Amino acid sequence: MSAKPSIWKDRQVLVTGATGIVGSWLCKRLVAERANVVVLVRDWDPQSEFIRAGTIQDCCVVQGALEDYASLERAISEQEVDTIIHLGAQALVGVALRSPLATFEANIRGTYNLLDAARVHRDLVKRFVVASSDKAYGDSDLLPYTEDMPLNGRHPYDVSKSCTDLLALTYAETYGLPVSIARCGNIYGGGDLHWSRIVPGTIRAVLENRPPVLRSDGSNIRDYIFVDDVVDAYLCLAEKCGSDGVRGEAFNFSPQSRINVLEITQAILRLMDREDLFPIIQANAKAEIQDQYLDSSKAKERLDWSPSCDLEAGLRKTIPWYRSFLESRA
């Protein structure tokens, strides 16, 4: 019996943010599924998994920034894009705090530029997924977050994601675009080179034989979701985002586990047999929400999505990637 053909075979898929952690693995998956992948790349980063693994050689590269409408419109039109997965963003809370204008330009202007280019070419675009974040909800005394809760960002990064979501919903409601929104918690896995984040930062510290540093006091509770589960979530949502009950809707994606920053740090130390390294707790983080975790029952019910990797299994897959990556640079 022949294998079931991929639903992505020969589809024209535009991915923004291809050089990031999710983009790297998403593009690799789409190439394997024989999609025709178009990527928007602003900066050349040879350390990105997207470039190191050679995935870029199998993609059509459009050089440009999200803030440049002409580049986005040209990519959709000339490449006859039928699916857009919008991952591109300034994704660091600390950078947003230092540079709010640049963050708003990339995350807000970049999103409405892409949405409007899709509106202009609505004859081509049949699927559009916007990658958001649990931070779009902002602070809440009621947890876990559910999709019907208000978007209440207050700090620069959080506000940029709240606005991103509202823009996506506007284009779905007003113009009938087949847009859906994905909200994830903290994404981890090989390929994340933002060392200020707790997972790669802790792993690198251990491999360099020094104690990990926590910017917070370690008590912040978060969701941590493995990158392979995120790729599955985005592809599942993209496949169904034009259908009733999915178009114009937001979906939380989460393993629905709850762990604080100190606990995940200690888990990494245990898995790396370095519990003798005691974390340095700085407790000086700013513009951070205290506790965030998601209810993903809607994704289970409407998309039949569920995660396949728990935290320990995900970390066991992640640690070797960083060991190999850092050894290659030594």
CATH number of domain containing 130 = 3.40.50.720
Per-residue pLDDT of the chain (330 residues; tens, 9 = 90+): 445 578 999 999 999 999 999 999 999 999 999 999 999 999 999 999 999 999 999 999 999 999 999 999 999 999 999 999 999 999 999 999 999 999 999 999 999 999 999 999 999 999 999 999 999 999 999 999 999 999 999 999 999 999 999 999 999 999 999 999 999 999 999 999 999 999 999 999 999 999 999 999 999 999 999 999 999 999 999 999 999 999 999 999 999 889 999 999 999 999 999 999 999 999 998 888 999 999 999 999 999 999 999 999 999 999 999 999 999 987
* 107 domain-assigned: yes
Q: What is the pTM of this model?
A: 0.96
Distance CA 327, CA 265 (A): 22
Distance CA 103, CA 249 (A): 24
* 112 domain-assigned: yes
* 32 domain-assigned: yes
* 171 domain-assigned: yes
* 318 domain-assigned: no
Identify the bridge partners of residue 225 per DSSP, sorted by sequence position.
187
Distance CA 314, CA 32 (A): 22
Total domains in the fold of the chain: 1
* 214 domain-assigned: no
Distance CA 204, CA 217 (A): 20
Query: What is the extent of the structural domain holding 45?
Result: 12-190+224-257+291-308
Angle between helix 21-32 and 227-240 (nearest 10): 60
* 196 domain-assigned: no
CA atoms within 13 A on the CB side of 112: 10
Distance CA 298, CA 292 (A): 17
Question: Which of the following is catalytic: 157, 171, 188, 293?
Answer: 157
234 counts as catalytic:
no
Distance CA 107, CA 90 (A): 6
